[in-house]
Structure 1
């Protein structure tokens, strides 16, 4: 797979932090640091565990009403109402327009 350039703005990071905190994942930066400190094989194992533990999927065209965030430390998925994502996006847009 080729590398993909990804540009993440400060507002995006703030929204991401807010969503993780609403999921009860307050120590997510420490979890990220620990994950990034793993070697490639260990990271692949964590990713495989995340993929295999996805509780279910829906067909294309279904309305999405939840946001799923994986916690590698607890090896479990956390679900939030999709409105949390839209609230954070609206807040970011309002602050950009000031």
Structure 2
């Protein structure tokens, strides 16, 4: 597991795909990503996807919950650089795959880093995410049809975190939130930000909890980091 103490953006060029569905990338299950558009002459749809650096190369940040992605976008957007939530399968990752020598790194959001009941925040105001990394090897012959399947271990990490927070109906809440439109998501995110506990300056040495938000109870819950990993980061 890793913490997103730093963010970066990787370029994405929305090239014309060859598949009849209009996409070259598919995720199982549905996942979400954040992009900020950076049009260039002749490329009005040119955009950058939010990533975080790893020793294996930049990893595209993804979310199972559209609500979690919306929260990330709200805290990360800045004047002139707003982030938008997209279905990750609408992203064309071929440029990233080429840059990384035939592999795609995907970071799955699990929760947010916290310390003693406070959310960790960077000087910019962005929250610090807690991620699970998964790498997909992409053969040259598969570049027109890239399929990413979330592994069972990482999916279990998300479920375990919410269960330890007492959110045993997480799967049902997640399914319901997948049907929300932008207006409902904006409302829920605004409420979550109003109810957010105090923040403190980000420092990996201070991280001792992971925070998740209860969509039904409209409140934040905290899980001890030692309950989630055998060897917490230091």
Query: TM-score, normalization: structure 2?
Result: 0.35
How much has 1:52 moved relative to structure 2? 2.0
**Which protein is bigger by CA-based radius of gyration?**
2
Q: Deviations along 1:10-58, whole A, 9 cap, x unmatched?
A: 2111011111111111110110111111111101211121122111111
Task: Name the counterpart of 2:217.
Answer: 74
Greater strand proportion: 2
Equivalent-residue separation in structure 1 for 2:49 and 2:218 (angstroms): 27
Task: Name the Cα RMSD after superposition.
Answer: 2.2
Farther off after superposition, 60-69 or 21-30 = 60-69
2:206 corresponds to: 63
Unaligned runs of 5+ in 2: 1-35, 37-47, 51-59, 63-105, 107-149
Query: Going by fraction, where is helix more abundant, 1 or 2?
Result: 1
Q: Distance in 2 between matches of 1:10 and 1:82?
A: 20
Question: Matched residue of 2:229: which SS?
Answer: helix
Matches of 2:228 and 2:198, distance apart in 1:
20
Which of residues 182, 196, 202 in structure 2 aligns to 1:54?
Answer: 196
Structure with higher RCO (Cα < 8 A, 6+ apart)? 1
TM-score, scaled relative to structure 1 = 0.76
Q: Deviations over 1:53-84 (max 9, x none)?
A: 11111113361111111011110011111112
